[in-house]
Structure 1
Amino acid sequence: MSFTQDIRDAFSRRDNALNQLIILNGLVFVVLVVLRAVLHIAQSDATYELIRRQLELSSSIPVLLRHPWTLLTYALVHEGFLHIIFNMLNLYWFGQLIREYLGDRRLVSLYILGALAGAAFFLLAYNLLPVFRAGIGLPVIGASAAVTAIIVAAATLLPDYTFMLILLGPVKIKWIALVVVLISIAGLNGGNPGGEVTHLGGALLGFLFVRQLKAGRDMGRPVVAVGDWLGNLFSRQPAMKVTHRATVPAGRASAAKASTPAATPAEEVDTILDKISRSGYESLSKEEKQKLFRASQQ
């Protein structure tokens, strides 16, 4: 199977959002690396800078108005291998938790909303706060705002979930999220204040996303609606089929229903809890974890 076929297969699956986000970031990174090398050999570095400016987010409002798509594209562009590796590892580790408990659609919504929140904080800081105004026109790139949103959302959702860290051993993710936020605050007077500001915007969004979700309000619903609209716009509607079903006598149908009673939500939760007591939490399937989370909201 070819490399391109592997990518097509990854994007054809609907339950593969985490891998799709990682692959998309990786593809953009590889394309830009190759393009930069080719243009450098051709002694056309200025062309590469022009292309990258079409993707990075500028703190200048007039530039943003000419490139509105950069509110999202900046979150797919990385500078250097360590930059993308660090972001993608965090996206993978914490994104798995969001995907297991909240599903693929909410993971994508959280990524997009985190990027937008980071962009909003970046633009507000550089255009309203005097300490940043000297940097008007500076750009920002990277998925850090979106990834920070996912880290803080996972910590808000499962504060006592434990990761095994090298040299440190077991650490609850609420402390990992706290350290990430504190590092961003400390970096505001460092060499990359714009990037740190976007992290804080993503962190706030991740916290609010889960808190609102627990209150019964899904902040990601507009993102899902736009995604569905775009999906319907670019996909063909299947032709309607007319099928004939054999009719079942009313008495026999009611008897069949009576013979297979549906489990109530309370019974399903009890079954899941029994499974945890027998085999541990990690034995649960993705659907069982999502049912358990939904039951905890009621």
Structure 2
Amino acid sequence: MSIVNDIRTAFSRRDNALNQLLLLNVLVFVGFILLRTALFLATQDRNAHLPILEWLAVPSVPRTLLTRPWTLLTYSFIHFDFFHILFNLLNLYWFGSLVREYLGDRRLVSLYVLGALVGAAFYVLAFNFIPAFRAAPAILYGASASVMAIIVAAATLLPDYTFSIILIGPVRIKYIAAVVVLVSIAGINGGNPGGEIAHLGGALLGFVFIKQLHAGHDLGRPVQAIGDWIGNLLSGRPNLRVTHRSRAAEAPNAARKSASIKPEQEEIDGILDKISRSGYESLSKEEKQKLFKASQK
């Protein structure tokens, strides 16, 4: 079937992280719809799918979580409500495209994974240490914490970038992110307090991730290392051997690499002049990347 081939092609590409995240969420969503329908038809029980869900969603009870550590990641791909997944995927596409353009596929995936982990940590801690949350055991699922991390990361990275919103017009994404965070704060005393706390955990991660990146620290390196190890394991590729060369041989290569990565100061000044004349959106993709690299020095 062409659909199966399209899916296989999407996951075989190494520079397609955003589409892979979107597609994985959709596939899990469709899979759960089919599973829930099949179980209902077989058992006439509308909750027959809950035991399976509990094995994939984050439990609020730490003792249960210790027996299901994989839920810290699997929960971030599970949705049941159509508008829930629609809202998450639209934001993942819009803001994820910005993150991918300026930071690359690997850091986009790192943000998604770390946002899920921190969101789950906030959820479990809130349910066990904040009196207002102490209630019956609950579970957490959905990509909202990961998406919040990407939204806030994009707004921290490019605060003055604008999106055109229907009936409103151009809006800087720093204001969009601020509204989304305020909505989560306001929702803590609503019907989904645990989910809102997880959203705030993801938002905090997104902010800290970019600030640390500007300081020269990539919080996503452990995620990328684990991803590389899993990828090599699945593909059967051997690990690369490290060979040592003399400093005399390395010096010319290092100089060439430094010259190719770090933009010249005159070029940066020209880019800044272009921003002052025509605005940030007038920059090309290459100019924006050079400006971002210069900000990390």
Taking structure 2 as the reference length, the TM-score comes to 0.86
Question: Retained in 2: the 8 A contact 1:100–1:289?
Answer: no
Once the two structures are superposed, residues 91-125 of structure 1 have per-residue CA deviations (whole angstroms, 9 ceiling, x without a partner) of 00000110011110000000000000100000000
Query: Is 1:3 the counterpart of 2:21 in the alignment?
Result: no
Once the two structures are superposed, residues 115-168 of structure 1 have per-residue CA deviations (whole angstroms, 9 ceiling, x without a partner) of 001000000000111111124x11111000000010111111111111111111
Structure 1: 5+ residue runs without aligned partners? 241-260
Deviation of the 1:290 alpha carbon: 2.5
Query: Is 1:297 the counterpart of 2:288 in the alignment?
Result: no
Higher CA-based Rg: 1
Give the AA of the match of 1:69. Answer: W
For residues 154 and 264 of structure 1, do their structure 2 counterparts lie closer, same or farther at Cα, with a shift above 3 Å needed? closer
Q: What is the RMSD computed on CA atoms of the aligned residues? A: 2.5
Deviation of the 1:24 alpha carbon: 0.3
Deviation of the 1:234 alpha carbon: 1.3
Distance 2:55 2:130 in 1: 26
Q: Which residue of 1 aligns with 2:83?
A: 82
The percent identity for this pair of structures is 63
Deviation of the 1:268 alpha carbon: 6.1
Distance 1:173 1:121 in 2: 25
Distance 1:290 1:8 in 2: 31
Where does 1:1-298 land on structure 2 (aligned, <5 Å)? 2-43=2-43, 45=45, 47-135=48-136, 137-237=137-237, 265-266=263-264, 269=268, 281=281, 284-285=284-285, 288-298=287-297
Question: Retained in 1: the 8 A contact 2:40–2:48?
Answer: no
Question: Retained in 2: the 8 A contact 1:275–1:284?
Answer: no
Structure 2: 5+ residue runs without aligned partners? 241-258
Give the AA of the match of 2:49. Answer: Y
For residues 68 and 279 of structure 1, do their structure 2 counterparts lie closer, same or farther at Cα, with a shift above 3 Å needed? closer
| Range 55-64 or range 214-223, more displaced | 55-64
Q: Which residue of 2 aligns with 1:244?
A: none
For residues 123 and 167 of structure 1, do their structure 2 counterparts lie closer, same or farther at Cα, with a shift above 3 Å needed? same
Question: Retained in 2: the 8 A contact 1:75–1:142?
Answer: yes
Give the AA of the match of 1:290. Answer: Q
Deviation of the 1:269 alpha carbon: 4.8
| Range 38-47 or range 82-91, more displaced | 38-47
For residues 59 and 113 of structure 1, do their structure 2 counterparts lie closer, same or farther at Cα, with a shift above 3 Å needed? same
Runs (4+) of structure 1 exceeding 3 A deviation are 44-47, 261-264, 267-283
Deviation of the 1:232 alpha carbon: 1.1
Count of residue correspondences: 275
